[in-house]
A and B are shown apart, each in its own frame.
Chain A
Amino acid sequence: MSKAVLSISGLHASVEGKEILKGVDLQVAQGEIHALMGPNGSGKSTLAYTLMGHPKYMVTGGSVSFDGHDLLPLTADARARLGLFLCFQYPTAIPGVSTVNFLRAALRAQEKEMPAREFLNRLSTEMKELKIDESFRSRYINDGFSGGEKKRMEILQLAMLRPKLAILDETDSGLDVDALRTVADGVMRLCGPDMGVLVITHYPRILEHLHPDRVHVLHDGRVVTSGGADLARQIEREGYEPILGTAAAATA
């Protein structure tokens, strides 16, 4: 296993006084695809928000290093500038801010600005790949978008910003089969030695497209088991119960 781009150890976090993460250990190596699975309420989205630095999520213990930096003292924007990216489960609308202006502001902030012509060409190409209509360039970001359009817009941002690690927070939820394929193909096209992925899901379906190197199961705020792609298939066949039963037995 090559160098870890993300290394989480003993991470505790709480939301509004309630502890959700209770000692998460997880490592993602440079350029790998990891899946984080687990039933509803296991803490998956909390982990995503905590890693990105949402102010509502309080870290109460543990450490996270990202690309050699101590992540936890940094604000969300500083984390993004280090190359961390979160594909939101519920992206927020920013009325009055067009997709083009938003992307340019983000690229500028990340010192990845490019000449206008190059930017527009790249945007055009990426939008075609993701089957996003040209009109979305001047539409206000996520304002009045359907669920599927929002998810595609998240992947478009991923494509334009090219982070080192992308966390996909239930990007598959609410997508029909065709949209899921478009989004998954988009992610697969982007990941490689320079970009790893941590995909959070409770359905194994998206993993048929993403081919994860490692699969982790989160339960009650901890990673209870990890394995290869087989683990996802096992969950698809048998559900979480046999695994969580074993894990519960192991911790008992």
Chain B
Amino acid sequence: MAIQAKELTKDYQFGFSDVDVSVFRTAKGLSPEVVASISQHKNEPEWMLKFRLKALDHFRKRPMPTWGADLSGLDFENIYYYVKPVEEMSRSWDDVPDSIKNTFDRLGIPQAERQFLAGVSAQYDSEVVYHSIREDLEKQGVLFSDCDTGLREHEELFRKYFGTVIPPNDNKFAALNSAVWSGGSFVYVPKGVKVDIPLQAYFRINSDNMGQFERTLIIADEGSSVHYIEGCTAPNYSSDSLHSAVVELVAHKGAKIRYTTIQNWSDNVYNLVTKRAIANENATVEWIDGNLGSKVTMKYPSVYLMGEGAHAEVMSAAFAGNGQHQDAGSKAIHVAPNTTSNIVSRSISKGSGRTSYRGHIKVLPKAHNVKVSVRCDALLLDEESRSDTYPYMDIDNPDVTIGHEASVSKVGEDQIFYLTSRGIPEQDATALIVNGFFEPFVKELPMEYAVELNRLLALSMEGAIG
């Protein structure tokens, strides 16, 4: 497995392969036995086993989606669906290859985060930080754990919401995730509680939260607010070629959830993620979604505006380098009156990279006075790169205001000349233009993520221009 992974990623400058330290893993491929053994291994209640098996059934019945990116390279039988790593056997920092350490250096990633990313689950500083954060959260009644723990320790609450935003038969990959899910985060914020620090997945050290089929469920009760940050700009090496997550958000009356993701999978990975939120009366849901890396990404964070006065904000950025296809976008489903949505998408393609914006706006008959704004801009770095836009709109109410703007532009010779005429080398000039293009996205990120993303973009640009 490790050798194969190396071959797959030998051209991937940030990737590294993992030594196999698993104690338990299911057989390759997918079957009711495999699903049952995952559930059994986790000591799950009967209802979850049934849920999984039913989902597997949905997965098998559904055809492969052909409307989007090319998924013909996916082989479902050649994947381990559950691998449990063993903490005692995990690597030490010294075992992490120098090339990876160097990449972390260049990205300026904090030590704690580096160790997490490198799969080193030893004791380190951030554990102390994490404990104090967790104590604070506990005092406020906030639940923050991995999803498996959520199910084990708060079954009733978990069961009330799990699979309600994204049912197992929603789409083929949601069905797959529902059958074999593992890891991911479970967050519950009680009424009126405002969590003032962003909750970051990497604080949860000793859990396999970066799994292939992670499942995240966040519930913000009435009047509460929370900002959750998933992943980070550093590369995640995955030896398996499929990452299929499900993220469900429920924002109750007057609550606010912001969900920030930056993903940078190695370029052998199919990243097929279903993200959906329910926004009740006067609630706000914000998806901040950045996609770099992967071979194929299909991801369309959605908001169902179920209650009057609800607001959706989706800001996404995608970068597709050679051989990559970022098929991303957003959906806003306006069910209730007086709801608003604002969608901003920026994408960059380089070399044979391809970006697609795929958006869906739906306004139901009873949703009066809806306001929608969609803006998507694409930047092409060279002659070969490609970008497409697929905006769909179903508007069943005449009383709506909809704005839609789209643009595709190229990095201009004149822009490059202008910057180089001030002494800035061409490569840096391109990086400045690229960073500038992503600026509306970057300024939504916490400082350290913004800095990392800019550095990462600069690295991605290396060698872009001869």
Contacts and interface: CB of A to CB of B under 8 A. Distances in A.
Interface stretch (B245-253, B289-297, B387-395, B434-442): B434-442
Contact of A80 (B421, B432, B439): B421
A92 B414 contact: yes
Interface stretch (A38-46, A50-58, A179-187, A243-251): A50-58
Contact of A92 (B412, B426, B436, B438): B412
> For chain B, what secondary structure do more than half of its interface residues adopt (helix, strand, loop), or is it mixed?
helix
B428 interface: yes
Interface string A82-122: 00011010011011110001100110011000000000000
Contact of A161 (B418, B419, B422): B422
Contact of A105 (B413, B415, B424): B424
B465 to A, nearest CB: 12
B45 interface: no
**Interface majority SS (helix, strand, loop, mixed), chain A:** mixed
Contacts of B419: 94, 102, 105
Contacts of A52: 417, 421
A45 B422 CA distance: 18
B433 interface: yes
Interface residues of B, number: 24
A81 B423 CA distance: 5
B97 interface: no
B428 A109 contact: yes
A133 B132 CA distance: 46
Contacts of B432: 94, 97, 101-102, 105
A55 B438 contact: no
A157 interface: yes
Contacts of A86: 421
Interface string B85-104: 00000000000000000000
B171 interface: no
B379 to A, nearest CB: 10
B435 A80 contact: no
B290 to A, nearest CB: 15
B373 interface: no
A101 B431 CA distance: 13
Contacts of B439: 95-97, 140
A96 B438 contact: yes
Contacts of A95: 436-437, 439
B438 A77 contact: no
Contact of A77 (B415, B424, B435): B424
B421 A110 contact: no
Given A55-B417, A76-B417, A109-B428, A96 B422 contact: no
Interface residues on A, range: 20 to 34
A94 B420 contact: no
Contacts of B141: none
A77 B420 contact: yes
Contacts of A106: 422-424
A85 B421 CA distance: 7
A94 B422 CA distance: 13
B424 A109 contact: yes
Given A110-B423, A157-B422, A105 B428 contact: yes
Contacts of B365: none
Interface in B408-461: 412-415, 417-426, 428-429, 432-433, 435-440
Contact of A94 (B415, B423, B425): B415
Nearest to A90: B414
Contacts of B422: 77, 80, 102, 105-106, 109-110, 157, 161
Most chain A beta-carbon neighbours within 10 Å: one of B418, B422, B433: B422
A203 B422 CA distance: 27
A241 B420 CA distance: 38
Interface of B: 412-415, 417-426, 428-429, 432-433, 435-440
Given A80-B423, A88-B418, A109-B422, 13 more contacts: A76-B417, A76-B420, A79-B421, A80-B422, A88-B421, A95-B439, A97-B436, A102-B422, A106-B424, A109-B425, A109-B428, A140-B436, A161-B422
8 contacts: A77-B421, A88-B418, A92-B415, A94-B415, A102-B419, A106-B423, A109-B424, A110-B422
- The 9 tightest CB contacts between A and B, nearest first, are A96-B436, A96-B439, A80-B423, A106-B422, A97-B436, A76-B420, A109-B423, A92-B418, A110-B423
